[in-house]
Structure 1
């Protein structure tokens, strides 16, 4: 029998994960890239359901830090409240086990509970 309150970190619920925004990644063509940053400008993340919300990604940011694969054109990404992004399949699996960002340890469950209490 363990001490009450000394629970091990749990993963996020399906509801918590689905609340996070999804994006579609699109590789940019050379002609779309501003000449002064063409070498480092890799693609654009466009939020699903909100085509006006776009995030430009550099070459070094256009890969999933979980599986270490570059983002392919058309792949779905999920962005955490800390602004880190990953393949949906990779981060969803991770968050079911551990509710924190694999890069900065931001707790998505704690942040969503805090924002619900403020409402």
Structure 2
């Protein structure tokens, strides 16, 4: 018996590329609080494009795009990344 038959079809639990594109972006400046990407562990350089998650953690755009396509959580605090609009009751 194959593992896929036991576990069923594995589905990514990440965001779509369209949703990932909706995350806010900023251009890194040396006076910003965070100085390195916690995914690739490289220091940010002036002018690099970063994406900001709803929990306010920032990452290189390419790094978080790859992560978020598989996992809809922040790699640091594991807060779920949701781009749904809040409902008003």
For the residue of structure 2 that corresponds to 1:103, the secondary structure is coil
Is the CA contact (8 Å cut-off) linking 2:20 and 2:65 kept in structure 1?
Answer: yes
Q: Which of residues 12, 17, 24 in structure 1 aligns to 2:15? A: 12
The answer for the alignment partner of 1:51 in structure 2 is none
- Higher share of residues assigned helix: 1
- Higher share of residues assigned strand: 1
Would you identify which runs of 4 or more consecutive aligned residues in structure 1 move more than 2 Å? none
The answer for the alignment partner of 1:96 in structure 2 is 69
Q: Provide Cα deviations, 1:92-117, integer angstroms capped at 9, x if missing partner.
A: 01001111100111111xx323x25x
* Structure-1-length-normalised TM-score: 0.61
Alignment of 1:112 onto 2:83: yes
The two structures, once aligned, show a CA RMSD in angstroms of 2.1
Gaps of 5+ in 2: none
* Structure-2-length-normalised TM-score: 0.79
The answer for the alignment partner of 1:66 in structure 2 is 39
Gaps of 5+ in 1: 28-42, 45-56
Greater C-alpha Rg: 1
Aligned length: 82
